Structure 1
Amino acid sequence: MNFRPRAKEAPEINLIPFIDVLLVILIFLMLSTTYSKFTEMQLTLPTADVEQMRDRPKEIVVSVGADGRYAVNRSSLEGKSVDTVAVALRDAAVAGKDSVIIISADASSPHQAVVTVMEAARRVGLSQITFATQTSASAGK
């Protein structure tokens, strides 16, 4: 049994092969990249109006005021009952069952008013409901 301490050598990292590999990659990238533009065609692309492209007939915007009053597609409703809202939604659903209801409710409107719109949509058979929101930056204006 030999218990003499052996001299420990510090590990040595050889960087030369690493630098060689990096130089090969650099040369490859420099040769494969083209810096000159070939023939260019001058194109005038058509423009489109974003508002025209939206599928408006499928959207039904239901506004709920702070006092619980309703407006369907900017026409105010007289009553606040589920049946009144359901009749207005049925009349506004031009696309039938594919119509999308966008509920735009005031931040201080009663929770029940929004639930009433959702119940009216269920009665009419409209299942696609979304809520309109605004960013916090535009809310302070």
Structure 2
Amino acid sequence: MKFKRSQVEDIHINLTPMIDCLLFILVFLLLSTSFNQFSRMNLTLPEAQGVPPKAYDQKVEVVVDASGHYSVNGQALSSKEVADLNTAIKQISNDRRDLMFIIAADAKASHQDVIRVMDVAGQLGFVNINISTKVPTRGY
């Protein structure tokens, strides 16, 4: 007696529906994801923790008070004009741009007044610009 062998059919897995589903999921994720790059700068500002002040033989120190008046190396200026500030700094520095340029501004001075001093210093070519800070007192 001759038995007929059953033929084993090859198993074929069709991957096309699975690939279609994965592509739909990928497209959905791409469309729902936000790729906006916000133009914010995350700044961590340093604290002044008792850095010993350096003594400079020659320096240009501009003081900005709360009302926006300027004083260059202890000499008060008569106006708040940029031209007067520019002239006073030129006279004090004697065309030396390597001097230490220190800005000491009152905490209540407007931002514009301080930026005006920094702008004048930059236009005159100063490269060593520092902003004075006060070391916070510790309550022990």
Q: Report if TM-score (shorter chain) is over 0.5.
A: yes
Distance 2:56 2:106 in 1: 25
The 5 Å alignment of 1:20-31 reads: none
Deviations, residues 94-138 of structure 1 (Å, cap 9, x unaligned) = 470101110000000000000110111122221221011111118
1:83–1:120 CA contact under 8 A, matched in 2:
no
**Larger proportion of helix:** 1
Deviations, residues 31-57 of structure 1 (Å, cap 9, x unaligned) = xxxxxxxxxxxxxxxxxxxxxx93321
The 5 Å alignment of 1:1-141 reads: 54-57=55-58, 59-94=59-94, 96-137=96-137
1:70–1:80 CA contact under 8 A, matched in 2:
yes
Distance 2:123 2:83 in 1: 9
Residue 62 of structure 1 and its aligned partner are, at CA, apart by 0.6
After the TM superposition, which parts of structure 1 deviate over 3 Å for at least 4 consecutive aligned residues?
A: none
Distance 1:61 1:113 in 2: 15
Distance 2:110 2:92 in 1: 24
Residue 84 of structure 1 and its aligned partner are, at CA, apart by 1.1
2:61–2:103 CA contact under 8 A, matched in 1:
yes
Report the AA paired with residue 117 of structure 1: V
Report the AA paired with residue 68 of structure 2: G
Alignment root-mean-square deviation, CA: 2.1
Point out where structure 2 has 5 or more consecutive residues left out of the alignment.
1-53
Matched residue of 2:109: which SS? Answer: coil
Percent identity reads: 31
1:61–1:103 CA contact under 8 A, matched in 2:
yes
Point out where structure 1 has 5 or more consecutive residues left out of the alignment.
1-52
1:97–1:125 CA contact under 8 A, matched in 2:
yes
Residue 68 of structure 1 and its aligned partner are, at CA, apart by 0.2
Aligned residues, how many? 86
Report the AA paired with residue 89 of structure 1: I
Distance 1:99 1:68 in 2: 24
